[in-house]
């Protein structure tokens, strides 16, 4: 299976670091880049062919700001597309949510498989981690314009102190969970 992993925002945070935790000095672009590298490693160990490309263009392809991510996934011939992000709101909101274009389509099944693994892993580390569920989003280019099943993981809220700690301390567990979600999906497809 060919897997395209797209950590969100700009590589090295320039021009777009994504969401921030000012108190702890964490940037979304760095957190998702590290998790993406590890997801790649675990999926390659599981026999997948993986392409990893970070991009800035969440709401549309803007070549001025970096690679055209949907085109890159198409030309790679990806079977699945996974975008990695962290949420932010008011420093109090917490939880994990997984986005797809249409939860009745294959993207929904992929979202379900990844989300189940992510929630199980994070709840195991912190039982108070809220499950915000699977959400349909029609506005995000990475979900709308991709032809393969695509998901966007909002792994946790980087601006919340508890969620941010999970993101940093359990980065490796989170990456393994995402990779397991992909292989669960692959097994379900084959079955």
Candidates 13-21, 46-54, 108-116, 139-147 — which segment interacts with Zn ion by CB under 5 A?
Answer: 13-21
Distance, CA of 160 to CA of 168 (rounded, Å):
12
8 or 36: whose CB is closer to Zn ion?
Answer: 8
Q: Which of residues 72-111 bind Zn ion (CB under 5 A)?
A: 85
Rg (CA), the chain: 15
List the one residue out of 8, 14, 18 whose CA is nearest residue 53: 8
- Nearest-CB residue to Zn ion? 85
Candidates 1-9, 93-101, 139-147, 160-168 — which segment interacts with Zn ion by CB under 5 A?
Answer: 1-9
Candidates 3-11, 114-122, 123-131, 180-188 — which segment interacts with Zn ion by CB under 5 A?
Answer: 3-11
Tokens of 175: 């990456």
In terms of C-beta distances under 8 Å and separation of at least 24 residues, what long-range contacts does 16-19 make, across chains too?
16/56, 16/65, 18/85, 18/86, 19/86, 19/87, 19/88, 19/158, 19/159
- Rule CB under 5 A: choose which of 5, 6, 7, 18 binds Zn ion: 18
Candidates 2-10, 40-48, 110-118, 158-166 — which segment interacts with Zn ion by CB under 5 A?
Answer: 2-10
Closest contact distance (angstroms) between CB of 51 and Zn ion is 20
Closest contact distance (angstroms) between CB of 30 and Zn ion is 12
- Rule CB under 5 A: choose which of 3, 7, 8, 117 binds Zn ion: 8
12-40: b or e for each residue (b if 16 or more CB lie within 10 Å)? eeeebbbbbbeeeebbbbbbbbbbbebbb
**Binding positions for Zn ion, rule: CB under 5 A:** 8, 18, 85
């Amino acid at each position: 299976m060919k897997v395209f992993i797209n950590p969100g925002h700009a590589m090295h945070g320039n021009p777009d670091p994504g969401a921030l935790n000012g108190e702890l000095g964490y940037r979304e672009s760095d957190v998702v880049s590290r998790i993406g590298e590890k997801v790649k490693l675990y999926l390659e160990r599981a026999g997948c062919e993986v392409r990893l490309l970070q991009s800035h263009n969440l709401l549309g392809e803007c070549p001025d700001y970096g690679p055209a991510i949907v085109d890159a996934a198409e030309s790679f011939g990806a079977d699945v597309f996974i975008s990695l992000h962290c949420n932010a709101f008011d420093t109090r909101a917490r939880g994990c949510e997984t986005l797809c274009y249409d939860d009745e389509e294959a993207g929904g099944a992929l979202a379900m498989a990844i989300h189940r693994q992510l929630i199980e892993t994070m709840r195991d580390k912190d039982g108070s981690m809220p499950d915000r569920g699977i959400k349909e989003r029609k506005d995000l280019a990475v979900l709308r314009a991709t032809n393969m099943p695509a998901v966007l993981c909002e792994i946790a809220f980087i601006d919340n102190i508890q969620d941010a700690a999970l993101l940093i301390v359990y980065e490796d567990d989170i990456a393994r969970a995402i990779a397991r979600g992909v292989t669960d999906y692959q097994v379900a497809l084959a079955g």
